[in-house]
Amino acid sequence: MKKGERRKQELLEIAYKMFLSKGYENTSVDDIIAEAGIAKGTYYYYFPSKEQTLEEVIDLMLDKETERAKAILASDYPIEQKLVGVIASFRPDEAEMTIKDALHEQENLLMHEKIKNKLMERLVPLVCEVAEQGVREGKFCCDNIPERVKMIIILSNEVFDSDNYTETDIKVFIDTIERMLYAKPGSMAFVAQLVRK
């Protein structure tokens, strides 16, 4: 009654690696079971569908990232840095994502979409906390925090998602979030160092 749990973890591990290295669409269930050395039926004993596997793989990924974000939230960095830090916690994990996701977007649309949605669900409330803290401290000065935060995250997702963003994109992005939050001009300028790479 626990051998099953181990097998499931093993399958998630394999799926995770293959989805990242070859892309979701390019990884067939047959690929996964070949790698695991099991039969089709066994796979479907643990997952109702390939898509559900994806779902669980993503949740697993985001769990780690949520932890990181919460650590930053609990820290005592200045608000501006917290804000950016929490958002950045969810940036793809080094070489992991970047390998394939960036490249052949076509083959990863579903994965990408699911990540974006799940990420949004988790990230918005965390960033809202930071932003509200910022308002209390007088660093930001606006209402409708959740909506503003949502839009900031949308922008950060879409703009920095591809690899072809420019210096100017960064500059404008920073200016935009400063103005959206009614923060002191220049207070977010430090972000430029972090994003550029």
Q: Which of 118, 116, 111 is nearest to 54 (CA)?
A: 111
- Work out how close the CB of 12 gets to a second copy at its nearest, in angstroms, rounded to a whole number: 22
Residue 148 touches a second copy, criterion: CB under 8 A: yes
Query: Are 153 and 173 in contact, with CB atoms under 8 Å apart?
Result: no
Give the sign of the dihedral formed by CA 68, CA 11, CA 13, CA 27.
negative
- Work out how close the CB of 64 gets to a second copy at its nearest, in angstroms, rounded to a whole number: 26
CA distance 141 to 17: 44
Stretch that binds a second copy, among 6-14, 57-65, 79-87, 172-180 (CB under 8 A): 172-180
Q: Binding-site residue total for a second copy (CB under 8 A)?
A: 24
Q: For residue 179, what are its two tokens?
A: 């103005």
- Between 91 and 114, name the residue whose CB sits nearer to DNA: 114
Instruction: Determine which residue in the list 26, 66, 98, 176 makes contact with a second copy, applying CB under 8 A.
Output: 176
**C-alpha 160: how far from chain center:** 12
- Between 43 and 173, name the residue whose CB sits nearer to a second copy: 173
Query: Are 42 and 11 in contact, with CB atoms under 8 Å apart?
Result: no
Residues 6+ apart with CB under 8 A from 70: 126
CA distance 135 to 181: 9
Residue 171 touches a second copy, criterion: CB under 8 A: yes
- Work out how close the CB of 157 gets to a second copy at its nearest, in angstroms, rounded to a whole number: 9
Out of DNA, a second copy, none, what residue 40 binds, judged by CB under 5 to 8 A for its kind, is DNA
Query: Are 61 and 147 in contact, with CB atoms under 8 Å apart?
Result: no
Instruction: Identify how many contiguous H helices and E strands the chain contains and give both numbers.
Output: 10, 0
Out of DNA, a second copy, none, what residue 3 binds, judged by CB under 5 to 8 A for its kind, is DNA
Residue 184 touches a second copy, criterion: CB under 8 A: no
Instruction: Determine which residue in the list 71, 102, 110, 194 makes contact with a second copy, applying CB under 8 A.
Output: 110
Out of a second copy, DNA, none, what residue 168 binds, judged by CB under 5 to 8 A for its kind, is a second copy
Residues in touch with a second copy (CB under 8 A): 105-106, 109-110, 113, 144, 147-148, 150-151, 154-155, 158-159, 166, 168-169, 171-173, 175-176, 179-180
